[in-house]
Amino acid sequence: MTIEINKINVSFEGKYILRDFSLTLPESGVVCIFGPSGCGKTVLFKCLSGLIKPNSGEINGLKNKRMSMVFQENRLLPWFDAAENVALVVNDNREQAMAALAKMELASEADKLPAEMSGGMLHRVAIARALAYNGDILLLDEPTTGLDAELAIKVMEILIKSWQGRLILLITHELALAQKFADIIYTVEGPPLQIKEKSE
């Protein structure tokens, strides 16, 4: 079932971030939203994930869908180690958490606190958390921040393999990454967010 975003509006302090924004997303594949920082891409993601309720308009096709999301900030709990951070989203199932960390080549770092890890490692823990939750849709907001080019490609390949047959939405400002992995690229500008170009 496709996802229909139908004329949604989101404004903050009188400024429109999304204005009558419409878009149809496929059931599966990798869709990239490519555009500069601050144009409203993350707000669109937050609407899709239910973290922001649009002022008006509707989003259809998301009922009962579980979302995995990799945020721009890693949003890890500083008082829990890597394994506990991942296990948080799978009812403390440590086995599942360890499997996801192993996919991110972090099994040996499982008992490290976030303060003891590098930026790249923290980002991979956040990706492992999204992997462990295994949502119906994967939202990736700048997923390769802090990773070197080789590792970024490896991580994207793992994610695409894990989400086969499901939808991945990718926000990035790295055109090379978008071109390498996305089935559809929407080039956007804003705010308010507007689609400038669609390429497949």
Partner 1 sequence: MNPQIKEKALSVLKGLVVLFFWLAVWAVIAHAVNKELILPVPLEVAKRFFVIIFTLEFWQIAFASLLRIIIGFVGGMLAGILLAVLMNSNKFAAALLAPLIKVVRATPVVSFIILALVWIVSNSLPVFISFLMVLPVAWANTLSGIENTDRQLLEMASLYKVKKLRIWRKIYFPSIQPYLLAAVSSGLGLAWKSGITAEVIAAPRMAIGSELQAAKVYLESADTFVWTIVVVIMSIILEKIITALISRRQAKYPAEEKL
Give the binding range for partner 1 (CB under 8 A) out of 14-22, 31-39, 44-52, 191-199. Answer: 44-52
Q: Are 171 and 31 in contact (CB under 8 A)?
A: no
Q: Quickly count helices (H) and strands (E) in the chain.
A: 6, 9
- Using CA atoms of 123, 124, 127, 129 in order, give the dihedral in degrees to the nearest 10: -100
* Residue 33 contacts partner 1 per CB under 8 A: no
Bridge partner residues of 170 (DSSP): 32, 140
Query: How far is the C-alpha of 129 from the C-alpha of 110, rounded, in Å?
Result: 12
Minimum CB separation from partner 1 for residue 132, in Å?
A: 9
Q: Are 191 and 40 in contact (CB under 8 A)?
A: yes
* Residue 113 contacts partner 1 per CB under 8 A: yes
Give the binding range for partner 1 (CB under 8 A) out of 15-23, 24-32, 67-75, 102-110. Answer: 67-75
Give the binding range for partner 1 (CB under 8 A) out of 2-10, 26-34, 74-82, 177-185. Answer: 74-82
* Residue 75 contacts partner 1 per CB under 8 A: yes
Binding residues with partner 1: total (CB under 8 A): 24
Query: How far is the C-alpha of 48 from the C-alpha of 128, rounded, in Å?
Result: 21
* Residue 63 contacts partner 1 per CB under 8 A: no
Site map for partner 1, 177-196, x if CB under 8 A? Answer: --------------------
Q: Kindly tell me which of 67 and 156 has the beta carbon lying closer to partner 1.
A: 67
Sole binder of partner 1 in the list 80, 107, 173, 180 (CB under 8 A): 80
- Which residue, chain included where needed, has tokens 């004329």? 7
Is residue 64 left, alpha or beta, with left meaning phi > 0 and alpha meaning psi from -120 to 50? left
Residues lying near partner 1 in the complex (CB under 8 A) are found at: 49-51, 66-69, 71, 73-80, 88-89, 113-115, 122, 129, 133
